[in-house]
Amino acid sequence: MNIRSKPADCVTAVENALKPAMYAKGQPVAAMNLLERMKYYHVPGVSVAVIDDGKIAWARGYGVKETGGNDPITPETLFQAASISKPVTALGALSSSSRGFSIWIRRSMTNLSPGRFQRMNSRKKKKSPFGDS
């Protein structure tokens, strides 16, 4: 599926062609609808964005902000990130490592400012994959 040539197909796939988390290899997989899955898992609302070539190809909100409420989810609705920070951090570290950056974590990075992170990596000749120079 090509997002640039057929963005409507991508929207349809997200909305109506969800796959289960696990399924048997070689067996038919029933596609699921996003709104049905939200109802099944008691999720009042979600926001979906598809990124293509570093840019938002499309974004949509589905449902409402809270159960029983009328305030709709939009692409601008802010959500709490919750535990997503751990896998995102791991992905960033692995991506940096694969590009030749060394990341040595000797202490908590909670108080490590972006400027200090940049200074620590200033000895490297390659640019940071996080967009810092």
Same domain, residue pair 74 and 90: no
* Mean per-residue pLDDT, 39-67: 90
> Residue 39: inside a domain, yes or no?
yes
Same domain, residue pair 28 and 65: yes
Q: Specify the pTM.
A: 0.56
Higher pLDDT, residue 4 or 100: 100
Range of the structural domain that residue 111 is part of: 80-128
Same domain, residue pair 69 and 92: no
Tally of domains within the chain = 2
Residue 123 has pLDDT above 60, yes or no: no
Same domain, residue pair 29 and 56: yes
What are phi and psi for residue 24, nearest 5 degrees?
Answer: -80, 130
**pLDDT interval class at 133 (50, 70, 90):** very low
User: Which residues have a Cβ under 8 Å from the Cβ of 60 and sit 6 or more positions away?
Assistant: 11, 47, 48, 75
Same domain, residue pair 94 and 114: yes
From 45, 61, 78, give the residue that closes a domain. Answer: 78
> Residue 123: inside a domain, yes or no?
yes
Same domain, residue pair 91 and 106: yes
> Residue 133: inside a domain, yes or no?
no
Neighbouring C-beta atoms of residue 118, cutoff 10 Å: 13
Joined together, the tokens standing for residue 90 give: 């791991």
Joined together, the tokens standing for residue 29 give: 């997989």
Same domain, residue pair 19 and 72: yes
